[in-house]
Amino acid sequence: MNVDRLAETIASDESLLRPQGDFGWRESTWRKWLTCDAGLRAIDRLRGTSVADSRGFLTVNRNEVMELAGGEDPSTDPVAAYTWSQVWGHGKTGYGAYRTAVTLGLAPPRGKASPAIEHGEATRRLASIAGTYLTEGAVRAYERAVDKNDLAIPYLGPAFGTKYLFFLEPADTPYRPLVLDELVGAALHEHAGDTFPAETGTFPSTRLYSTYLDAVEAVREHPSLTPRPAAERSRERIETALFRIGNALKGPAGPNDNRA
């Protein structure tokens, strides 16, 4: 796997590795849809870290969400970490809370009369995903959770499934789970297309997810980036840089692009 072009693209633009800013979310929408006790408690705690902006949105940043998630045991009470990951992922979009409720079995999918999964079963699977990560690592957790294996949750795909995985690990450890969505996939395909096909960001196999984590490890140790302090080339910063590259390929960043 050759990551020269990918690493050099990131190294050539200072703005790609800058820290993320705050993002907005609307408390009332999440309270409307996350009707379970654990979900409401999670919203209460996130509300406590947020500041209101001039347009009525609450603002919070990735590090604050990570700090909240790091204080929980997701293998026994996973709904909090899952909720925070989805609030972060959806940001200001109006449909994020509803989509999260569908994956938690709290609301039926559009056009359906009943939920696609029971809430208790969704909670059990989220706990098992977390337990798998803690005991077997990111790739195995991805395989069971996202790659249509035994812990797959209806309507939870790679983009938002990997957001949950990301917040299970508070430290910048080797092969920590990272977000793999359409924009990250677009950057990988553009600059390392021999390894990452066009479907990397939409239908990534377990093998592709594992290769993505390998690529991030290789990029951060590339000679074009090693002169930088470790914090500036953390795995999270590399993932964010890939998102920004993908965003530029797809078009201007919109108001809901929290990582742009």
User: How far is the C-alpha of 148 from the C-alpha of 157, rounded, in Å?
Assistant: 9
- Residue 255: inside a domain: no
Q: Is the pLDDT of residue 257 over 60?
A: no
The per-residue pLDDT for 225 is 97
Contacts within 8 Å (CB) and 24+ apart, 116-124:
116/154, 116/155, 117/153, 117/154, 119/36, 122/153, 123/38, 123/78, 123/79
- Do residues 163 and 179 lie in contact, with contact meaning Cβ atoms separated by under 8 Å? yes
- Residue 31: inside a domain: yes
Q: Is the pLDDT of residue 258 over 90?
A: no
- pTM for this predicted structure: 0.93
- Residue 137: inside a domain: yes
Angle of helix 235-250 relative to helix 4-11, nearest 10 degrees? 90
The winner for highest mean pLDDT among 45-49, 172-176, 221-225 is 221-225
The per-residue pLDDT for 72 is 76
- Residue 256: inside a domain: no
- Residue 9: inside a domain: yes
- Residue 260: inside a domain: no
Residue ranges making up the domain that contains 76 = 4-250
| 3-class SS string, 160-171 | HHHHHHHCCCCC
Count of structural domains within the chain? 1
CA dihedral angle for residue 98, residue 54, residue 179, residue 137, rounded to 10 degrees:
-80
Question: Average pLDDT, whole number, for the chain?
Answer: 92
- Residue 43: inside a domain: yes
Model confidence pLDDT, tens digit, residues 66-93: 888 877 788 878 999 999 999 999 998 8
